Every structure is written in structure tokens, then in C-alpha cells.
């Protein structure tokens, strides 16, 4: 598989030792979906925003992110604006924050086309309706004349997907795109994303292991600004190596086992950004931790890698 995105030692630093992303490596092939998963605050969104040059002004970004041969880190605003939408685009959790509440849906899609194509105004509006149809919006011509609040959450997210894909980007980033949707609509939107990104690399951010199972080819588990485990979805979900991954999996229902009442949560807290981390960042919450964990473990393994001195070796059922 051709590697399309290659991220190396990506860091996002807010100054005075407040490093929120602490050296992330990722890679995604064409047509592949990588799910980035981890608890709130572990640096998933900042990692994605860094790829688009959209981190907050106070953040200093370093490292490398190559999309094919294009380096994304350290680019000027003008270049990044050209790359965004054309080569990389992003879908956020809440489409209302990305859509203009007072502009008709069709006009908003046409405006995006104006940036990326040389189509005439009427051609853009026709294309906007086609794009809406292509993401399964029925009665698209009438819908195109409606305002965002007149559409359901699922419909709005479909609109965002059509906008994100309008410029035929190589890489689509989706940051918790279905969290606000109910389960049935979530499944439909995931199916649509899967189908529409067959030839596009998809970086899918979620904290939901159930969603990971549905969409991912490969998984990167993040903890405290680092990737602590990566592998195929099957490897990571069925035989988690890192105790953190195993704990995340314990907190979602196992479809193969009867429900056993309340799901356990992981005791303790993710270290705050700027908190001094010595050794493995997970060690204060980890049942397997010992003195060795005072030294930070590197990712190790073959293909399926984990940063742990005492990784699990069994299947999910055995480690749970």
C-alpha cells in the first residue's frame, strides 16, 4: 500500500514546558482508515489541527507531516489555505459551528466549489445539488434552498462530508464526526464515510472503541500526547498489548459477551498538560506498573507495536 501521510515526531507546545502533543508518529496509506483513539485531553484534536495549520496561535508546532511529497508543518498561511480543502480537509463534531446559519445550504457548498474550481455560478449550484445527492440527501434541490437549522443533525453532517470531499482531497480528517448523532444515524454516516473515502486516506478521531471497530483498518491509541499502541484494528481490538488500550476496551460492551452491569471506568486521571511526566505516563493508573516503568518505554514490536515494559500477550477476553 502506498503511504500517503507520514507524521514524524509531531509536537504541539504551549510554552513553559506545556507540551500537549509529545512526539507523535503516524502513517496512513491511500484508501486506508486510521482511527486515533484515546480519552479526552490526550491530544487527538491538536494532532489533527496541526496537520491543517489550525492550532491555536499560542501553540508552537514542530516535527514533520508529509502528505505524499508535501510537507504540511511550517507552511505559511497562504500555502496552507491552498492545501486545505484541496489536499486535506476536515469534518468536525458539530457541523453547526462550521456552517453559516444564515446562508442556504446549496450556496454554502457552491462557495466552497468557487475556491477549488473555475466553474460558473450556475454550474456550481447544480454541482452542489449533485454533491448533496451523492451523500444520500433526498430531495436535494429543495434542501439546497434551506438553512442549516432546517436540516437534521445527520443531514447536516452529510452536508459537511459533501463539502469536505468537494475538492477531492487526498486526506480527510474527521474529528468525532458522529458523537452528536443517535446510534442509527451514526451508523449511516459512518457507512457513508467509509464508502466515500475508498480512495482517500481517512484519519478518524474518536474516543469510542465501538466506532473504531466499525470504521478502522488501523488504530493508533493516544495517551498524554503520545501514541502508546498501533496496529491493525483486529490486532488492537482483539489482542490489546498496552494496559491502557485494554482498559479502554474494558469500558465498552463486548458484543460477544453478555452485559455484566456497569462498565468499569479507568481509575485516576490523564496527566494535565504541563504536569511533570517521569517514565511511562500511564503508570500511576496501571495495575502492571513497577520500578521499570520509571523509564519511559519506546514503541516496540513488529507491525503491532506498544510502548510498554509489561504488555499483555493474550486476547481481549484474557486481559479483560
Point out which residues bind ligand ATP (CB under 6 A).
14, 20, 38, 40-46, 56, 58, 207, 273
Q: What is the 3-state secondary structure (H, E, C) of the chain?
A: CCEEEEEEEEEEECCCCCEEEEEEEEEEECCCEEEEECCCCCCHHHHHHHHHCCCCCCCEEEEEEEECCEECCCCCHHHHHHHECCCEEEECCCHHHHCCCCCCHHHHHHHHHHHHCCCCHHHHHHHHHHHHHHCCCCCHHHHCCCCHHHCCHHHHHHHHHHHHHHCCCCEEEEECCCCCCCHHHHHHHHHHHHHHCCCCEEEEEECCHHHHHHHCCEEEEEECCEEEEEEEHHHHHHCCCCHHHHHHHHCCCCCCCCCCCCCCCCCCCCCCCCCCCCCCCCHHHCCCCCHHHHCCCCCEEECEEECCCCCCCCCHHHHC
Tell me if 239 contacts Mg ion by CB under 5 A: no
Tell me if 47 contacts Mg ion by CB under 5 A: no
Residue 14 binds which entry of Mg ion, ligand ATP, none, CB below 5-8 Å type-dependent = ligand ATP
Residue 40 binds which entry of ligand ATP, Mg ion, none, CB below 5-8 Å type-dependent = ligand ATP
Nearest CB to ligand ATP, comparing residues 35 and 110: 35
- Minimum CB–partner distance for residue 206 and Mg ion (Å): 10
Residue 158 binds which entry of ligand ATP, Mg ion, none, CB below 5-8 Å type-dependent = none
- Minimum CB–partner distance for residue 118 and ligand ATP (Å): 37
- Minimum CB–partner distance for residue 119 and Mg ion (Å): 34
Within 27-46, the residues that bind Mg ion by CB under 5 A are 45
Residue 58 binds which entry of Mg ion, ligand ATP, none, CB below 5-8 Å type-dependent = ligand ATP
- Minimum CB–partner distance for residue 44 and Mg ion (Å): 5
Question: If binding means CB under 5 A, how many residues of this protein chain bind Mg ion?
Answer: 1
- Minimum CB–partner distance for residue 111 and Mg ion (Å): 26
Residues at the contact surface with Mg ion, assessed by CB under 5 A:
45
Amino acid at each position: 500500500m502506498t503511504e500517503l501521510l507520514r507524521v514524524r515526531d509531531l509536537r504541539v507546545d504551549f510554552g513553559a514546558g506545556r507540551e500537549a502533543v509529545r512526539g507523535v508518529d503516524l502513517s496512513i496509506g491511500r484508501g486506508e482508515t486510521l482511527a486515533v483513539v484515546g480519552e479526552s485531553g490526550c491530544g487527538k484534536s491538536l494532532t489533527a489541527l496541526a496537520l491543517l495549520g489550525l492550532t491555536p496561535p499560542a501553540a508552537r508546532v514542530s516535527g514533520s507531516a508529509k502528505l505524499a511529497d508535501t510537507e504540511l508543518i511550517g507552511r505559511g498561511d497562504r500555502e496552507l489555505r491552498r492545501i486545505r480543502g484541496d489536499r486535506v480537509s476536515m469534518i468536525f463534531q458539530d457541523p453547526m459551528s462550521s456552517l453559516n446559519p444564515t446562508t442556504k445550504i446549496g450556496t454554502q457548498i457552491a462557495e466552497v466549489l468557487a475556491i477549488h474550481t473555475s466553474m460558473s455560478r450556475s454550474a456550481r449550484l447544480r454541482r452542489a445539488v449533485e454533491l448533496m445527492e451523492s451523500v444520500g440527501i433526498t430531495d436535494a434541490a429543495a434542501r439546497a434552498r434551506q438553512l442549516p437549522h432546517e436540516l437534521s443533525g445527520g443531514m447536516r453532517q452529510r452536508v459537511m462530508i459533501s463539502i469536505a470531499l468537494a475538492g477531492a482531497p487526498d486526506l480527510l480528517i474527521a474529528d468525532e464526526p458522529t458523537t452528536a448523532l443517535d446510534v442509527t444515524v451514526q451508523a449511516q454516516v459512518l457507512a457513508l464515510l467509509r464508502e466515500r473515502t475508498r480512495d482517500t486516506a481517512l484519519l478518524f478521531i474518536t474516543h469510542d472503541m465501538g466506532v473504531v471497530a466499525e470504521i478502522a483498518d488501523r488504530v493508533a491509541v493516544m495517551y498524554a500526547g503520545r501514541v502508546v499502541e498501533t496496529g491493525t484494528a483486529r490486532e488492537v481490538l482483539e489482542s490489546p498489548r498496552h494496559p491502557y488500550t485494554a482498559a479502554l476496551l474494558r469500558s465498552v460492551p463486548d458484543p460477544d459477551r453478555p452485559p455484566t452491569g456497569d462498565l468499569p471506568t479507568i481509575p485516576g486521571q490523564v496527566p494535565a498538560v504541563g504536569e511533570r511526566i517521569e517514565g511511562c505516563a500511564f503508570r500511576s493508573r496501571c495495575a502492571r506498573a513497577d520500578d521499570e516503568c520509571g523509564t519511559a518505554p519506546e514503541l516496540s514490536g513488529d507491525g503491532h507495536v506498544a510502548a510498554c515494559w509489561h504488555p499483555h500477550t493474550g486476547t481481549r477476553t484474557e486481559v479483560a
